[in-house]
Amino acid sequence: MSQKKALVVDDSTVTRLMIRKIISEKHPNWEILEADSADKANLILPDHPDIDFFSLDQNMPGTISGLDLAENLKSSYQNAKIVLITANIQDSIKNKAKNLGIDFIEKPITADKIIPVLENI
């Protein structure tokens, strides 16, 4: 089985570190990449066509939101698990995530919220 790969996209360094720690404790052999915006994530993607898990924040600096990035990822990473982890809990955001077929996790981040999403990857 090949090594799994995750990309954590969030403008908060603390949030990225927390998510990285949770993933690493559950899956110590995974490679974990990070980006502090969806724009920077798009620069990473061409070199990593094999990402298995995406953690995306909704509101970040730059021109692309987490949901916009998720929509773009759905075509290129059809087998990847995508989760929106955000403090933006508006119904419109939750509904768009649901319509895209991605998971929605409300901040604050806890292992109890993230580990179930990692179970089936």
Per-residue pLDDT at 61: 93
Average pLDDT of the chain to the nearest whole number: 95
How far is Cα 23 from Cα 17, in angstroms, rounded to an integer? 10
CA 70 vs CA 3, 26, 29, 46: distances in Å? 22, 23, 25, 15
Per-residue pLDDT at 2: 64
Reply yes or no on whether the pLDDT at 79 is more than 90: yes
This prediction has a pTM of 0.95
Residue 78: alpha-carbon gap to chain centroid: 14
Domains and CATH numbers, the chain: 5-118 (3.40.50.2300)
